[in-house]
Homo-oligomer: A and B are copies of this chain.
Amino acid sequence: MARWQPNASERLVVAALDLFAERGYENTTVIDIAERAGLTKSTFFRHFPDKREVLFGGDTMTGVLVNGIAAAPAAATPLEAVAYALDTIGREAFTPARREFTARRRAVIAANPELQEREALKGLGLTASMIDALKRRGVPDLTSRVAAELGALTLKIAYERWSDTTNADEFTEVARRTLSEVQAASALSLR
């Protein structure tokens, strides 16, 4: 039986994470990454605009979230629509096979302030996309902003918990539990 062959993009990401772990993000070049993946520099640049983007892979997460919110049942409340989107992320993005990759990615980012800034800004972009997706469901502006902030916080905490490799639960489970806790905390802080 043929072993599963990852595609070029996946191979580049794996090679980059290996090299970042071995010699550090700053000491790794795009050429190093392409060579380790057995590919050329120009193939690298067909997939990613620069070295940094290897870790932030093309906004797939935004698409999954936005589609998840759009696909939620019409009767869903704003936070139920967010919960629906988090389920979609568990099925399409944060699958069990991705967990180890995610933990390694987090370690690289935690070691580099420039990457932390990038990650933070990507998070803000995700929140903005969720606000738009909720507004397209007819949710009023301010409610969309609040639900998106609570959703983004839930996603961030659930991601931290799930990518902790000592945790064996699937992402969807972790995210649902986290959302309940965020809802309870929100009710508490309002009181």
Contact = CB atoms under 8 A, between A and B. Distances in A.
Interface of A: 77-79, 117, 120-121, 124, 139-140, 142-143, 145-147, 149-150, 153, 157, 181-183, 185-191
Contacts of A143: 185, 188-189
Contacts of A189: 77-79, 139, 143, 146-147, 150
A191 B80 CA distance: 9
A187 B190 contact: yes
A77 B191 contact: yes
A182 B142 contact: yes
A14 to B, nearest CB: 29
21 contacts: A77-B189, A77-B190, A78-B188, A78-B189, A79-B190, A120-B120, A120-B124, A121-B121, A142-B181, A142-B182, A143-B188, A143-B189, A146-B153, A146-B185, A146-B186, A146-B189, A147-B189, A149-B149, A149-B150, A150-B189, A187-B190
A77 B190 CA distance: 8
Contacts of A153: 145-146, 149
A61 B148 CA distance: 25
